[in-house]
Amino acid sequence: INITTPRITLVAVDREMARGMLIAEPPAGALWADDYPTEGSLACATAVMVAIEEGRTDPFGAFCVVRNEDTTTIGDTLFHGPPDDRGTVDIGYGLVPSARGHGYATTAVVAMIAWAFSQGDVTRVTANTTDDNVGSVAVMERAAMSISHGPGGLMRGVALRDSWTPPRSNRPDASPAPH
């Protein structure tokens, strides 16, 4: 699956892309930013390979963040598995340093949340970071997630299907806010 927004497309990572990420060689036809893959990319690729090995076929996997204007891969996003028995999915995200500060991470997180809520069994999306990762905390805030502080500097973002409204400037389909 692909999750498309006006600025980026989240492209599902398949076996070929995961292999390329792990050996730092883009598959045929893929364009990568000079500073891609990142350490986070390796975690995404490993998660994909484990899911394939386990025979998982659900759509809650890893995605490359592809900038639409030049089709360059600039980062990754990840669902840490399918929804649990309470309807919760946890997400992760990361961009190459050269692509940070342009709103791509926020757009990716908003797109992931919106897509997850379009799946019938997801009622809550969470993300975790640490309080010293100011950029990641800001992404969660701009993606309209509620932020809570945990032990040891843990920061958790939560979006609930019944109350989450995507921020106006980052709607995946560029539509106006629901009323």
Other beta carbons less than 10 A from residue 24's beta carbon: 11
Torsion sign across C-alpha atoms 104, 176, 63, 133: positive
Q: How far apart are CA 83 and CA 66, in angstroms?
A: 25
Tell me what pLDDT residue 84 has.
97
Tell me what pLDDT residue 1 has.
87
Q: How far apart are CA 115 and CA 166, in angstroms?
A: 11
- Whether 179 shows a pLDDT value over 60: the answer reads no
Confidence of residue 170 (pLDDT cuts 50, 70, 90): low
Q: Name residues whose C-beta falls within 8 Å of residue 156's C-beta, 6 or more positions apart in sequence.
A: 126, 127, 128, 147, 148, 150
Give the CA-trace dihedral at 89, 20, 137, 118, to 10 degrees.
Answer: -30
Which amino acid, 147? I
For β-strands 72-79 and 31-32, DSSP reports them as: parallel
Other beta carbons less than 10 A from residue 149's beta carbon: 9
Tell me what pLDDT residue 67 has.
98
- Whether 175 shows a pLDDT value over 60: the answer reads no
Task: Give pTM, 2 decimals.
Answer: 0.91
Q: How far apart are CA 103 and CA 25, in angstroms?
A: 27
Confidence of residue 168 (pLDDT cuts 50, 70, 90): confident
174/71: higher pLDDT: 71
